[in-house]
Amino acid sequence: MRATLHQLKVFRQVALTMNYTKASVLLGLTQPAVSIQLKQLESNLDLPLFEKIGKKLFLTPAGQELKCFCDELFARFDSIDMTLSALKGDLEGGFHLAAVSSAKYFTPHLLGAFHKRYPNVNLDLDIVNREQMIQRLQDNKDDLVIMGLVPESMALTYHPFVDNPIVIVASPDHPLAGKRNIKLSELSHYAFIFREKGSGTRKALEDFLQQHKLALQPNMVLGSSETIKQAVMAGLGISALSRHSVTLELATTSLVELDIEGFPLIKSWYLVHHESKHLSPITQAFINFVLSPEENVAGLCNRFLESHFVKKNIKPINKI
């Protein structure tokens, strides 16, 4: 392929923004200079890379293939400093992690422990819902992601690293609060609050209910664990949530965990990346850190929760 590195850099920025003007600003070039570089590249390749339909710019099939190549090429360039620093016995550079919202209660503490080990690593964390996470995986936006339900439609590598118990919670004055060995069918007699469609917690619950041939109609659908917790405390219904997200509320008895047959549903949290993704030395180091038996990540999560409760003079009644 006859192309200069500069031409590929210009092409990739236009392919990312799909706008010549925005790309020229980000590159520090004039718009005519960007256009000239792209015309030279298309001439060298003897293939069109973009097509304009109306006022919108689109990649041609050749452009899509070249963008994939450039994404991998420049990712390798970005990681070369990390590789060289790793060879010198240190890790330096950036690490971008994304986690689904239910994992936000422990993910920062994993990063904190990792940062103590590798203080020269610059950390970036995004918290998103599962639907946004799937889009981020499709766009290859992150070095690594943490999620509880891995999509089967993509070629992904995933590593389970800690349990994710899903429990049924209610307000302390709910009719089922304090009862033991509650039949699963009892749930159909009470208002139930669901997470939004696409939520990993909702999908796990629906799969379990379908397996047991129980249909639950949501009385309310809410888009976050925090909102659901407030709705349950207000007596608007019961719900299924990750125990990680309600540990404090259970400890303070703002919420109670119902003793429903089949619960908790023991799922896992996973570290996830594309099968074909080139892992930077920092990404591989983070995976090794989390999966290392010596690090005891589950114990790390428990120690954080216990120290949090001690500070507040609260006795934890549920552990991860």
Q: Put residue 178 in one of left, alpha, beta given phi > 0 → left and psi -120 to 50 → alpha.
A: left
CATH superfamily of 92-162+268-304: Periplasmic binding protein-like II (3.40.190.10)
All structural domains of the chain with their residue ranges: 5-74, 92-162+268-304, 164-267
Q: What is the C-alpha R_g of the chain?
A: 24
User: Is the pLDDT at 308 greater than 50, yes or no?
Assistant: no
Provide DSSP, the chain. Answer: ----HHHHHHHHHHHHHS-HHHHHHHHT--HHHHHHHHHHHHHHHTS--EEEETTEEEE-HHHHHHHHHHHHHHHHHHHHHHHHHHHTT---EEEEEEEEGGGTTTHHHHHHHHHHH-TTEEEEEEEE-HHHHHHHHHHT--SEEEESS--TTS-EEEEEEEEEEEEEEE-TTSTTTT-SSB-GGGGGGS-EEEEPTT-HHHHHHHHHHHHTT-----SEEES-HHHHHHHHHTTS-EEEEEHHHHHHHHHTTSSEE--BTT-SEEEEEEEEEETT----HHHHHHHHHHH-TTT-HHHHHHHHHHHHHHHTT-------
Tell me the CATH number for domain 5-74: 1.10.10.10
Contact 14, 50 (CB under 8 A): yes
d(CA 296, CA 298): 6
The model's pTM is: 0.66
Nearest-angstrom CA–CA distance, 300 and 110:
8
- Reported as a pLDDT band with limits 50, 70 and 90, residue 300 is low
Which two three-digit tokens encode residue 214?
A: 């129980």
Query: pLDDT > 70: what percent of the chain?
Result: 88
Mean per-residue pLDDT, 194-220: 88
Do 164-267 and 5-74 have the same topology in CATH? no
Residues linked to residue 160 through DSSP beta bridges, in sequence order:
270
Do 130 and 196 meet the contact criterion of CB atoms below 8 Å apart?
A: no
Q: Which two tokens stand for residue 92?
A: 């330096």
Q: How confident is the model at residue 54 (pLDDT cuts 50, 70, 90)?
A: confident
Q: What pLDDT was estimated at residue 303?
A: 57
Q: How confident is the model at residue 82 (pLDDT cuts 50, 70, 90)?
A: low
- pLDDT > 90 in the chain, percent: 48
Please check the confidence at residue 258 and state whether its pLDDT lies above 70: yes
63 DSSP β-pair partners: none
Higher pLDDT among residues 114 and 93, named by residue: 114
Distances (CA, A) of 71 to 47, 66, 74, 89, 222: 19, 9, 6, 27, 36
Mean pLDDT, range 33-44, rounded to an integer: 92
Alpha-carbon distance of 43 to 173, in angstroms, equals: 73
pLDDT digits (tens, 9 = 90+) for 118-168: 898 989 999 998 888 998 998 888 999 999 889 888 999 999 988 889 999
Residue in this structure with the two tokens 């994992």, named with its chain if needed: 103
Between vectors from CA 142 to CA 281 and to CA 225, what angle results, nearest 5°? Answer: 125
Q: For tokens 């119902």, name the residue.
A: 258
Specify whether the CB–CB gap between 195 and 148 falls below 8 A.
Answer: no
pLDDT in the model for residue 102: 82
Over residues 66-83, the mean pLDDT reads 77
pLDDT number for residue 317: 39
Q: Which tens digits make up the pLDDT trace of 167-202?
A: 999 999 999 998 999 999 999 999 999 988 878 888
Q: Are 127 and 101 in contact (CB under 8 A)?
A: yes
52: β partners: 57
For domain 164-267, the question of CATH label 3.40.190.10 is answered with yes
Name which of 66-70, 80-84, 140-144, 223-227 the model is least confident about. Answer: 80-84
Residue with the two structure tokens 């994404």: 71
